[in-house]
């Protein structure tokens, strides 16, 4: 196997056939690194210098793809830190690796990095799945090479296995109290008119669904906080390019909840392999007491349980979204992983970061609860694994 480091989107585009084939046969699906998502991201949301590591067979064909960017900032540059390439609309950083090649991919990549490819002396992946074949392949490759690493934090989010009916699932997962609560929420919505759940069929006109979603999201709290897609022209362009390309590939799912014909909640999901990912949700805040987002999730779960082509759905929900996670029985484990170069500088840098994290955690424990809450960063993980990400993420679905 050989490694290529690509820094130009046009060069990535040239490998689109190999890239698409890799996504089709990936050990773990990740729509955020498929062509239909990543290319619009690089075009409209590029947060800094990025590089794509492509591991391929000498005879041709991609074995794996990992995208990184150099962290901006003096401190990060001083540490020689490279991190997984993500942005505020990306919720998963698991590399695309061909099934059965997980350990060999990591072996090949780590050898190339050690020889000076790509730069940096410390790698950081945040939001990578730790409990699947990709995470296990990395763990085995690092153990084999005796390479120092650190799982700086881990957290869980909801996963829906598609292997039973809604009636069976609801009785297993939801207590009678929660089922009654969902019924009461729907009754509150029904007081304003007929409640209907709709799923967009592929091939029907897409633009009205896109416009409705963007307007609904912008009209709520995300618009007020300037985090909606429509708040930034480049973010809106990214979303439009993404959904149109996903539609062409048959990987787009739109659903919505209407009251008296008006959309009160909308959901945009993405498909990768035999899995779906709950990408974006928008709700009408004027009907907040009726929980339109939660009612939509309930109908969405019921609908997905009838899907024959898919095996599971990732909620993409933040750990603190308890109401959403209640509906999703299984959990997947994501985490932040640091890997050091097998050099004195790499090991010392890793141990310095680990020591700083332990000291920070010690100081947090010494503070009063009120002081800890006031000073804690919103998205940093400050304790070693296993741990839960307790803070509210700055960008939710």
Q: Which pTM does this prediction carry? A: 0.87
What pLDDT is attached to residue 368?
55
Q: Is the predicted pLDDT of residue 176 greater than 80, yes or no?
A: yes
Distance CA 329, CA 353 (A): 35
Least confident window among 24-38, 107-121, 285-299, 317-331? 317-331
* Contact between 280 and 270 (Cβ < 8 Å): no
H or E element in which residue 246 lies: helix 233-248
Domains, the chain, ordered by start: 2-156+333-375 (3.40.630.30), 163-310 (3.40.630.30)
Tens of pLDDT, residue by residue over 336-348, are: 999 999 989 889 9
What pLDDT, on the 0 to 100 scale, is given for residue 82?
84
In angstroms, the Cα distances linking 189 to 185, 301, 318 are 7, 19, 25
224: three-class secondary structure by DSSP: helix
**Spatial separation of the C-alpha atoms in residues 284 and 298, rounded to whole Å:** 17
pLDDT at 251: 97
Alpha-carbon distances, residue 341 vs 16, 194, 315 (angstroms): 31, 60, 34
Q: Residue 317: pLDDT above 80?
A: yes
Check whether 384 has a pLDDT greater than 50: no
Query: Which candidate, 163, 88, 102, 182, places its Cα nearest to that of 313?
Result: 163
Mean pLDDT on 244-266:
96
The closest of 360, 374, 132, 89 to 234, measured between CA atoms, is 89
DSSP 230: G
The two beta strands, 2-6 and 50-56, are: antiparallel
Please state, as a whole number, how many other Cβ atoms lie within 10 Å of the Cβ of residue 168. Answer: 11
pLDDT in tens, 87-127: 889 999 999 999 999 999 999 999 999 887 767 888 999 99
Identify the pLDDT of residue 377.
42
Coil/strand/helix, residue 110: helix
Residue 8 has a pLDDT of 85
Going by C-alpha positions, the residue among 349, 360, 348 that lies closest to residue 384 is: 360
Of 116-125, 145-154, 257-266, 274-283, the range with the lowest mean pLDDT is 116-125
**Residues whose CB falls within 8 Å of the CB of residue 87, separated by 6 or more in sequence, listed in order:** 41, 45, 47
SS3 letters for 155-217? EEEEEEECCCCHHHHHHHHCCHHHHHHHHHHHHHHHCCCCEEEEECCCCCCCHHHHHHHHHHH
Q: Are strands 122-129 and 81-84 parallel, antiparallel or unpaired?
A: parallel
pLDDT at 9 over 90: no
- Show the beta-strand stretches assigned E in the chain: 2-6, 50-56, 62-70, 81-84, 96-97, 122-129, 149-161, 195-199, 252-259, 262-272, 275-283, 312-314, 330-340
């Amino acid at each position: 196997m050989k490694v290529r480091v690509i820094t130009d989107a046009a060069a990535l585009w040239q490998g689109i056939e190999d890239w698409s084939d890799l996504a089709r046969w990936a050990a773990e699906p990740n729509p955020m690194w498929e062509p239909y998502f990543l290319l619009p991201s690089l075009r409209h949301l590029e947060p800094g210098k990025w590089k794509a590591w492509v591991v391929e067979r000498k005879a041709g064909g991609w074995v794996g793809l990992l995208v990184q960017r150099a962290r901006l900032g003096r401190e990060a540059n001083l540490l020689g830190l490279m991190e997984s390439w993500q942005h505020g609309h990306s919720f998963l950083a698991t590399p695309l690796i061909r099934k059965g090649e997980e350990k060999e991919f990591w072996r090949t990549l780590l050898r190339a990095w050690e020889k000076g490819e790509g730069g940096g002396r410390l790698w950081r992946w945040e939001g990578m799945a730790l409990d699947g074949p990709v995470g296990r392949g990395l763990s085995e490759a690092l153990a084999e090479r005796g390479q120092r690493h650190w799982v700086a934090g881990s957290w869980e989010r909801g996963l829906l296995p598609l292997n039973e009916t809604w009636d069976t699932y609801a009785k297993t997962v939801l207590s009678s109290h929660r089922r009654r609560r969902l019924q009461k929420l729907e009754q509150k919505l029904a007081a304003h008119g007929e409640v209907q759940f709709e799923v967009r069929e592929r091939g029907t006109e897409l633009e009205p669904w896109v416009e409705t979603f963007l307007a609904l999201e912008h009209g709520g709290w995300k618009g007020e906080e300037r985090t909606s897609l429509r708040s930034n022209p480049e973010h809106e362009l990214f979303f439009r390019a993404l959904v149109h390309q996903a539609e062409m590939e048959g990987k787009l799912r739109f659903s919505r909840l209407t009251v008296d014909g008006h959309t009160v909640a909308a959901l945009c999901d993405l498909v990768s392999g035999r899995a779906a990912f709950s990408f974006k949700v928008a709700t009408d805040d004027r009907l907040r007491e009726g929980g339109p987002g939660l009612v939509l999730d309930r109908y969405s779960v019921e609908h997905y349980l009838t899907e024959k082509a898919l095996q599971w759905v990732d909620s993409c929900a933040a750990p603190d979204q308890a109401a959403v996670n209640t509906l999703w029985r299984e959990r997947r484990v994501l985490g932040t992983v640091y890997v050091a170069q097998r050099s004195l500088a790499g090991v010392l840098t890793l141990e310095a970061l680990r020591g700083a994290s332990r000291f920070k955690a010690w100081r947090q424990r010494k503070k009063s609860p009120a002081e800890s809450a006031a000073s804690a960063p919103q998205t940093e993980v400050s304790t070693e694994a296993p741990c839960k990400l307790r803070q509210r993420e700055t960008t939710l679905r």
